[in-house]
Structure 1
Amino acid sequence: MLNPIYYAISAILWFWHKVVSYVLDPDSGVSWVLAIVLLTVTIRAFLVKPMLKQMRSTLKMQEMQPKMQAIREKYKNDQAKMMEESRKLQKEMGVNPIAGCIPLLVQMPVFIGLFHVLRSFNRTGTGGTQLGLSIEVNRNTPNYIFGVDEVQSFLDARIFGVPLSSYISMPNEMFGAFGTVDFTRGKIMAVAAPLILIVVFATHMNARLSIARQEERRRSGKTKAPQNDMMATQMQMMNKMMLWFMPGIILFTGVFWHIGLLFYMASNNVWTFFQQRWIFAKVDAEEEEELARKREAKRTTAPRPGQKPKNPKKGKNS
């Protein structure tokens, strides 16, 4: 079922490794890490437009909350009519709730796909999805798009002295798949632990940036506060999950993450930080332009000082 995703991820990684190999040694750890970073850039660049649409949709949804609340109250005894009117309002406002899920729906398969592809370079283990291959068979078995030579290149590549598909909790019997065992679990920990902490910290800070924007918009009156205690509680829970729960999951599951995957997560978070700032600035500018346009339209249609406002109804009656 997930094979198309695995082939797609391995194809993108293969492409960038080939590109990088024109400049760097194709068998070096740096060339493979750079290929992983460029894979990250490729995926995230593809998601810039959906993320921008998601942000615009979120603002429109906040704007139409009072109307949605009025529909709920008016049709509280008629669920079918409530859903019909809600969809009608969403269409009028140009809001598509499903579109907001696209970035997450794309990023999760990418994460899972890259995790699997990197793990599949070394299939000498016996747990989980491992095949229990012998060292020789593993080194001579293709990995999706990657041929035998590329599999061996990846297995023998080192970054800071450790293999890219090694991880802290890797069983000792899998070490032999990397050719010469010139590393220890301590070395893997020395490389992986700082990367895990960087990813945890970056995830926390990206969440803090998003929450700070929410609070700033509420203080400026651009976004209304939750309409009841239940909604306020739900928002607080969501914010706490973003700030602490997600970084906590990364911290405690990081022992299972390959070095290459940690580089993906680190570069992904760096991209997220700058992308969020750019999208926030762009959407805010668009919002200010829209407000200015409405003010100008209101000013041009308002009666001049001393002039009586026109009364269309009076004209019809006369």
Structure 2
Amino acid sequence: MSALLLAGHTATAALLGGSLAWIAAVALLVLAVRAALYPVLRTQARRSITVAGLRPAVERIRRSHTDPQRQSAELRELYAEHDVRLFGGFLPMLGQALLFLGLFHVLRSFDRTAAAALPFGSTAHPLSPEVNAATANYLLDPGHVQAFLHADLFGAPLSAALAGAAAPLTIALVAVPLALVAAIAAHVTARMTLRRSAGPTLPLLRPLTLWVLPGTALAGAALLPVIVLVYLATNALCTVALQFLAYRGLPSLGG
């Protein structure tokens, strides 16, 4: 992940320079991964349409076979006949989760001076500012570390989080809008997903996906560094755009 971040920063530094190169590097990394996963997402969208069309057949099998083993065998045969893989949708989710965890670790490792006080902004073995500035962050050399620590977005350091910040107002003016963008985009994605859902959903699923999960992005405004919020906002906007693209030209499930 540090190699990918370094490649993105190198590619954009000559054009943008300074702080914007780091922001662009994170955005490019998100775009590259989501573009690579798009064929899987498109296939998943097609299969969701197929699954919706198979719902009457599924209900007939469940009514006809009370034996759970026979029922499962018939359902497996039905799905195999129509090339439906029920767990295929986990691949994009897994890819995004691995991207976030790896990128979050690298971005957090630029500043290893915080003691173990905050859950997302601390390290078990804090370094002094001088040692931290002279220590490489995986493939990013000390010069990159120092450049990142001096980078900011509208005055808010990219490595800083709102909680415990020396200038909370400056960081809040950047962190809160980024978190709002991520939350609103997640809410829009949830609405699109529920609208396309074929059949009833669990009672708690709707409020969970529409409000609780997007609301976690707002909590991130206080705890996550500014650069991680840039990632979350970029990723959430990509998700909305890819939802439109993946289902473009396909029949509507929810009307």
Q: Same fold (TM over 0.5)?
A: yes
* Aligned counterparts of 2:143 and 2:215: Cα–Cα separation in 1: 38
Q: Which amino acid aligns with 1:89?
A: L
Q: Is the 8 A contact 2:44 2:88 kept in 1?
A: yes
Q: State whether residues 204 and 242 of structure 1, in contact with CA within 8 Å, keep that contact through their aligned partners in structure 2.
A: yes
For 1:86 and 1:213, the matched residues in 2 are separated by: 22
Residue aligning to 1:200: 183
Corresponding position: 1:154 with 2:182 = no
Equivalent residue for 1:126?
115
Separation of aligned partners in 2, 1:99 and 1:212: 20
Deviation at 1:56, TM superposition (A): 1.1
Contact 1:198–1:266 under 8 Å retained in 2: yes
Partner of 1:219: none
The yes-or-no answer on 1:87 pairing with 2:40 is no
Answer yes or no: is 1:210 the counterpart of 2:193: yes
1:104 aligned residue: 93
Give me the whole-angstrom Cα distance separating, in 2, the residues matched to 1:49 and 1:154.
34
Distance 1:60 1:76, change over 3 A: same
Give per-residue Cα distances to partners, 1:21-41, cap 9 Å, x unaligned.
Answer: 23222xx11111011111110
- Higher RCO (Cα < 8 Å, 6 or more apart): 2
Q: Whole-Å Cα distance in 2 between the matches of residues 126 and 83 of structure 1?
A: 53
Q: Tell me, in whole angstroms, the C-alpha distance in 2 between the residues paired with 1:75 and 1:265.
A: 46
C-alpha distance in 2 between matches for 1:44 and 1:282: 20
Q: Does 1:11 align with 2:6?
A: no
Matched residues in 2 for 1:263 and 1:254: separation?
11
Greater helix share, structure number? 1
Gap regions ≥5 residues in structure 1: 1-8, 173-182, 215-222, 227-231, 288-318
Sequence identity (%): 32
**Does 2:118 align with 1:140?**
no
- The answer on whether the counterparts of 1:115 and 1:258 sit within 8 Å (CA) in structure 2 is no
Q: Which residue of 1 aligns with 2:250?
A: 283
Provide the TM-score with structure 2 as the length reference.
0.89
RMSD of aligned residue pairs (Cα, Å): 2.1
Q: For 1:194 and 1:239, how far apart are their aligned partners in 2?
A: 25
Q: Distance in 2 between matches of 1:44 and 1:100?
A: 14
> How far does residue 233 in structure 1 lie from its aligned partner after superposition?
5.1
Separation (CA, whole Å) in 2 of partners of 1:141 and 1:97: 46
- Write the distance in 2 (CA, Å) between the matches of 1:166 and 1:152: 14
Distance 1:68 1:206 in 2: 27
**Deviation digits for residues 251-271 of structure 1, max 9, x if unmatched?**
123311111111112122222
CA distance in 1, matches of 2:221, 2:69: 46
SS at match of 2:227: helix
| Largest Rg, 1 or 2 | 1
Instruction: Tell whether the 8 Å contact from 1:53 to 1:100 is kept in structure 2 after alignment.
Output: no
Residue aligning to 1:24: 16
2:32 is paired with a residue of what secondary structure? helix
- The aligned counterpart of 2:32 is 42
8 Å Cα contact 1:57-1:100 kept in structure 2: no
Q: Give the gaps of 5 or more residues in structure 2.
A: none
Partner of 1:266: 233
Is 2:77 the counterpart of 1:62? Answer: no
**C-alpha distance in structure 2 between counterparts of 1:74 and 1:261, whole Å:** 52
